[in-house]
Structure 1
Amino acid sequence: MSAAFTAFILLLMTGALLPVNRRFRQTPDGVPVFVVSNGTHTDVVLPLQEPRTGISWLPHLPDSTLRARFGSYPYAAFGWGSEGFYLASYGHQLPGPGVVLRAVVPEPTLMHVRFLRQAPVAGSHVVPLRISVAQYQALAAQVAASFQADSLQHYQLRNAAGYTPTDFFFRATGRYHALRTCNDWTVRTLRRAGLRVPLKSPLAAPVLVQARRAR
């Protein structure tokens, strides 16, 4: 086992246990946000329109049909990940070994956006949080920076449809690779907004554990 590989494994093991922003506390009556997981991947759920900050994700949708269709939805889930892995998962398919191996080296990325009719229910895979207006502004800015946008600040659809009628893929910034996974994106996004997260975690569970301890 090489020294570089050993150092990498130690980074993953210790980073998942070490909290960052450990002084983070929830804000009573703050903006509601959620950290959610399907067991392997994490998303950040945000209000589709947030009145105190004036932040709305609707104007960034690329056409009026989508804006009208989802205008009454209260929340949207945002996740970042490998373009190849996302697209190979259509039809609930499990991506093959080739797709997984290609994700080890830098490759293009997508933002996965799911529109939600109601707030996620707290549970083993859902951590609700209340954060300050300033923290929400910082969090929304981090999420927005992950999208590729045109001159009108419209996000660029990758495909006409996602896995279901209420989710879509948009072209994203950054490259996915072994040291920068979908869960690392969640960690980095929450950390830069001042929320409690693990130092480093390619896995979903430590992200939820640290978020839950902030409660």
Structure 2
Amino acid sequence: MLKRLLLRIAFALLGLLALVGLYVATASALVFWPANAKPSAEVAAGVPAEVQAWVLSNGVHTDYVFPIRSATVDWLQVFPLRDFRAPPPDAEFIAIGWGDREFYLNTPTWGDLTARRAFGALSGGNRALVHVSYLRRAQLGRGAFAVPLSQVQYAQLVDYVRAALPQGQATPIAGAHYDNQDAFYEANGGYNLFETCNTWSGRGLRQAGVPVSRWTPFDFTVTWHLRAAVP
């Protein structure tokens, strides 16, 4: 009886490991079959980027980084400073990411990560949030990847970000901050194993015509085809 139980546990663990391996292998393989691999007409013609954006990665999670103001959008009108404690007055950029509500709010540092929270995020069921920070240029260093965009591409990416907000409106989460320059907002959708912060980032880039893997559950699948660049 005990032997049979142990065999069942062993097979279950092997099955789980096989599924994890398949998940990682599929994501890694798709990196070599990117969407938008062919340069856009503007890039092929040597037309310089009209908007310089970035993807910022901490090794696990990715955010978009945009100039605060441009001809396309003034992000201060979308995410007003009154929602933040004390954003730097010399901020030039805004960082925007999407992720699991419980993980975002209860894991401000990696030291706060627990197996229960990680499993809860991956198993799904939690609502999502949008996380926004106003950043100085000096805060964009290692982990920044250049995303040169045309005005049309940038407008598509802006629309994609705004579509993550319920009714397109930014509703702040009262009292939710990591520091003085960030805020959290209600978001559409929910986080799970197949809908991660990085799949959200990658989907927006694909829709805007940026070369990126066809499935981006990990940070490297978002940044693989981008050029590391310090602003």
- Shorter-chain TM-score: what band? 0.7 to 0.9
- Matched with 1:23 is 38
Identity of aligned residues (%): 29
TM-score (norm 1): 0.83
Uncovered stretches (5+) of structure 1, i.e. residues with no partner: none
CA 1:89–1:21 in structure 2 vs 1: closer, same or farther (change >3 Å)?
A: same
Q: Which has the larger radius of gyration?
A: 2
Among 89, 110, 130, the alignment partner of 2:129 is: 110
CA 1:29–1:180 in structure 2 vs 1: closer, same or farther (change >3 Å)?
A: closer
Amino acid at match of 2:107: S
Shift of 1:64: 5.0
Please tell me whether the aligned partners of residues 113 and 169 of structure 1 are also in contact (alpha carbons under 8 angstroms): yes
TM-score (norm 2): 0.78
Uncovered stretches (5+) of structure 2, i.e. residues with no partner: 1-14
State the distance in 1 between where 2:29 and 2:140 align. 30
**Which deviates more from structure 2 when the two are superposed, residues 104-113 or residues 133-142?**
104-113
Please tell me whether the aligned partners of residues 62 and 155 of structure 1 are also in contact (alpha carbons under 8 angstroms): no
Shift of 1:171: 0.8
User: Cα RMSD between the aligned structures?
Assistant: 2.8
Amino acid at match of 1:144: R
Give the alignment of 1:52-201 within 5 angstroms.
53=72, 55-61=73-79, 64=82, 73-90=91-108, 93-106=111-124, 107-118=126-137, 121=140, 123=142, 125-149=143-167, 154-201=169-216
Q: Report the count of equivalent residues.
A: 206
3-state SS of paired residue (1:35): strand
CA 1:188–1:98 in structure 2 vs 1: closer, same or farther (change >3 Å)?
A: same
3-state SS of paired residue (2:137): coil
Shift of 1:65: 6.8
Shift of 1:71: 7.6
State the distance in 1 between where 2:93 and 2:139 align. 9
Higher helix fraction: Structure 1 or Structure 2?
2
